[in-house]
């Protein structure tokens, strides 16, 4: 598809969404937007971020590889006010309701757990997670997936992190691509922490969703030195995990700083999240123990 056609599709999609505004109580525009109107709105997306003011952070397709492979990806939106994430929305259209199917795309798991292809009634997937800073709650709205054709009731359900704090029972998740996070370093940390389960490798911010929903207890991302993490790859997920009861910091135990512009400047080594304080402290200690012998 060439540029002009993509643009046409975008304009159509925007107008389709706007025509449904009334559903959420916003009056729809009197006339559909034209191409120039849509381009003007897109051009407003030039905020550089920073410590003052309010701005939205959007990652329309996070986990691009997962998206093109028909695997996990996320649509992530966050509102940042004076450098703090105050609202997070994370859409995970391919995320299965049953944890066991998260790994369906990975041959190793299919064979190890003798998974058969999911039947359509089991393959319920897709939800939107929402959290507001300070609410102490994160919410999940499943996407409409009743394949039996019966009435679809959309309900928000509170999600909570897992209660497991024994590393031997915990599951950790990490990026699929070795280029995005060192698998050998996290394997060392896992060993030192006493994690026994095989890592859950999931594309995109769906990893934060896995922690918030209690599908996994730990998330680690250690990119190569020099890589700068972007705020849109983390903002929504971090708030959702925190409000669901989890903890997210850098490897030095400091909160991620969303006030420094487009990047998470000053990030100490990597990003770690866990389902609770006790596990987090053990994880920080294990990272410290493994760091000196690592080549990162």
Kindly state whether residue 204 participates in binding ligand PPS, applying the rule CB under 6 A.
yes
The one of Mg ion, ligand PPS, none whose footprint includes residue 249, by CB under 5 to 8 A per kind, is: none
Q: Which of residues 32-71 bind Mg ion (CB under 5 A)?
A: 59, 62
Task: List the single partner that 243 binds among Mg ion, ligand PPS, none, CB under 5 to 8 Å by kind.
Answer: none
**String marking each residue 206-235 x if it binds ligand PPS according to CB under 6 A:** ---------------x-x---x--x--x--
Nearest by Cα to 242 from 81, 156, 133: 133
Residue 144 in contact with ligand PPS, rule: CB under 6 A: no
Q: Which of 59, 215, 217, 243 binds ligand PPS (CB under 6 A)?
A: 59
> Distance between CA atoms of 172 and 201, rounded to whole angstroms?
9
Give the nearest distance from C-beta 289 to Mg ion in angstroms: 30
Residues 217-236 that bind Mg ion (CB under 5 A): 233
Count of residues of this chain found to bind Mg ion when the rule CB under 5 A is applied: 3
Q: Minimal CA–CA distance to 79: which of 48, 53, 57?
A: 57
Structural Rg of the chain based on CA atoms: 20
Residues 6+ apart with CB under 8 A from 130: 87, 88, 89, 90, 138, 139, 140, 141, 156, 240
* Residue among 180 and 274 whose Cβ is closer to ligand PPS: 180
Among 147, 179, 196, 255, binds ligand PPS (CB under 6 A): 179
Q: From CA 198, how far away is CA 173, in angstroms rounded?
A: 9
Asked if 256 and 238 touch (Cβ cutoff 8 Å), the reply is yes
Q: Give the residue, chosen from 49, 96, 175, 270, that forms a contact with ligand PPS under the rule CB under 6 A.
A: 175
Q: Two tokens at 284?
A: 């920080």
**Crossing angle of the two packed helices 183-193 and 277-291, in degrees rounded to 10:** 120
Binding site for ligand PPS (CB under 6 A): 59, 62-66, 175-177, 179-180, 203-204, 221, 223, 227, 230, 233
Binding site for Mg ion (CB under 5 A): 59, 62, 233
């Amino acid at each position: 598809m060439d540029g002009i056609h993509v643009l046409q599709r975008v304009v159509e999609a925007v107008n389709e969404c706007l025509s449904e505004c009334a559903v959420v109580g916003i009056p729809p525009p009197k006339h559909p937007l034209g191409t120039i109107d849509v381009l003007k709105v897109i051009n407003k997306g030039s905020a550089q971020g920073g410590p003052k003011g309010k701005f939205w952070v959007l990652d329309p397709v996070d986990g691009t590889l997962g998206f093109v492979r028909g695997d996990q990806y996320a649509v992530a939106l966050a509102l940042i006010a004076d450098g703090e994430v105050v609202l997070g929305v994370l859409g995970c259209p391919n995320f299965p309701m049953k944890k066991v199917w998260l790994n369906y795309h990975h041959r190793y798991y299919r064979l190890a757990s003798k998974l058969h292809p999911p039947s359509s009634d089991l393959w319920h997937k897709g939800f939107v997670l929402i959290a507001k800073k300070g609410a102490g709650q994160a919410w999940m709205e499943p996407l409409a997936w009743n394949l039996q054709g019966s009435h679809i009731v959309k309900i928000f359900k509170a999600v909570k992190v897992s209660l497991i704090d024994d590393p031997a029972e915990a599951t950790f998740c990490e990026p699929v691509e070795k280029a995005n996070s060192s698998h050998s370093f996290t394997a060392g940390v896992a060993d030192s922490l006493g994690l026994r389960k095989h890592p859950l490798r999931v594309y995109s911010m769906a990893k934060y969703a896995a922690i918030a929903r209690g599908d996994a207890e730990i998330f680690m991302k250690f990119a190569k030195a020099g890589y700068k993490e972007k705020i849109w790859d983390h903002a929504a997920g971090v708030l959702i995990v925190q409000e669901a009861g989890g903890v997210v910091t850098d490897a030095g135990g400091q909160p991620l700083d969303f006030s420094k512009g487009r990047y998470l400047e000053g990030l100490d080594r990597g990003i770690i999240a866990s389902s609770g304080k006790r596990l987090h402290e053990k994880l920080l200690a294990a990272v410290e123990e493994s760091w000196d012998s690592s080549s990162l």
